Amino acid sequence: MSKNKKTQTKNTKKKKIDWKKYNEALVKRGEITVYIDGDTEKGWHISPKNNKTGRPKKYSNSAIQLTLQFGKVFHQKLRQTEGLVRSIFQALNLDLEVPDYSTLSRRLSSLNIKINKAITDNSPKEDLVIIMDSTGLKIFGEGEWKVRKHGWSKHRTWRKAHIAITPDGQVIASRLTGNNVSDSEVFIDLIGKETLPIGTVSADGAYDTKGVYDTCIEKGIHTVLIPPQRNAKIWKHGNCKNTPHPRDINLRQIRKSTRKKWKESVGYHIRSLSETAMFRFKTIFGDKLNSRKFKNQQNEFLIAIAAMNKMTNLGMPSSCITE
């Protein structure tokens, strides 16, 4: 009798999502509502007096970044980006010159792009939950249909895109590297520079290295959800007087039950949110980088990440359990 009651109560709990609000947020992502504030308009061009030695710059860094961001969001190459922004300025009756495609290409490598994060140092001091992952972005090679039909005729090259996100989908750190750079190397670099307190880190088995755990211990991260390798061994045995190593804690829990039960009990499957973020990125911006130079590719990727964060801020699906 009591068992049936429990089952009935469990089945009546449903996850409710405000789909109407989320749909409105998705629609807003496609709106072309452009507002240029006075500061941006005044700072669009650089005064000749402010130019240092060398070739004088005509446009500010914010002007270059804004122009490139339009092109990235609307999947335009540099020449088409120039035409797109020019037409927008004409519609707004803005008397501003638009950087030409060669200027955009030349200045892209020197931009210092900062990701707009909803979480800042002034946010409530709660320990962050960070999810790490990486994916590949193509920079050269044929499309998938041609390869499937006729095979490879050219060498295909990829870059590795690394991101660190929070559960709400905000990218707080990202980096583009060559495909020969390991995930653990980038983890140490990204997490080591984060100034906000981090409570939990979740990542896949590629991050199961000593350097990653040393970084987590140094940063005071108390929960590390990284599955140890199948042949893993204890690093600090029970007779050690020091605090148990976080990897050993996970490994002992796995040995007591199973790897699957450990993942369920500690909430490891939150890591799938990073795969969702990667899918969102490729759906919006595609899986290919247009730039040829590596530095340009890095900044092109960061421009896309900054734009994706702005879209995420418009709204994400939020759910609650209802009876």
**Domains along the chain with CATH numbers:** 28-108 (no CATH), 128-292 (3.30.420)
At residue 193, the pLDDT reads 77
Mean pLDDT of 156-185: 90
Q: Where is pLDDT greater, at 27 or 179? A: 179
d(CA 197, CA 250): 22
Residue 55 — pLDDT band, cuts 50, 70, 90? low
d(CA 163, CA 46): 33
Element (H or E) spanning 212, and its range? helix 210-219
Mean pLDDT of 48-63: 74
- CA of residue 86 relative to chain centroid, distance: 30
Two structure tokens written together for 247: 């990897």
d(CA 79, CA 160): 26
Pick from 309, 308, 300, 302: nearest CA to 284: 308
Whether 40 has a pLDDT exceeding 90, the answer reads no
Whether 6 has a pLDDT exceeding 50, the answer reads no
Q: Which residue has the tokens 């939950």?
A: 129
Contact 146, 195 (CB under 8 A): no
Strand partners, 225: 202
d(CA 238, CA 306): 46
Percentage of the residues of the chain whose pLDDT score is greater than 70: 79
- CA of residue 238 relative to chain centroid, distance: 39
Two structure tokens written together for 227: 């599955």
- pLDDT tens, position by position, 268-291: 999 999 999 999 999 999 999 999
At residue 156, the pLDDT reads 67
At residue 222, the pLDDT reads 87
Backbone angles phi and psi of 29, in degrees to 5: -65, -25
Whether 124 has a pLDDT exceeding 80, the answer reads no
Amino acid letter, residue 99 = P
Q: Where is pLDDT greater, at 122 or 111? A: 111
At residue 154, the pLDDT reads 60
Strand partners, 83: none
d(CA 40, CA 57): 16
Backbone angles phi and psi of 53, in degrees to 5: -65, 155
Q: Is 141 left (phi over 0), alpha (psi -120 to 50) or beta?
A: left
d(CA 50, CA 46): 7
Q: Is 280 exposed, middle or buried (0-12, 13-18, 19+ CB in 10 A)?
A: middle
Mean pLDDT for the chain overall: 82
At residue 12, the pLDDT reads 47
Q: Angle CA(304)–CA(306)–CA(310) in degrees, nearest 5?
A: 110
- Least trusted range by pLDDT, from 29-43, 223-237, 241-255: 29-43
Tell me the chain's radius of gyration from C-alpha atoms. 24
Strand partners, 137: 159
Backbone angles phi and psi of 133, in degrees to 5: -165, 170
- pLDDT tens, position by position, 75-106: 999 999 999 999 988 988 888 899 999 999 99
d(CA 175, CA 302): 8
At residue 305, the pLDDT reads 94
Residue 236 — pLDDT band, cuts 50, 70, 90? confident
Whether 19 has a pLDDT exceeding 80, the answer reads no
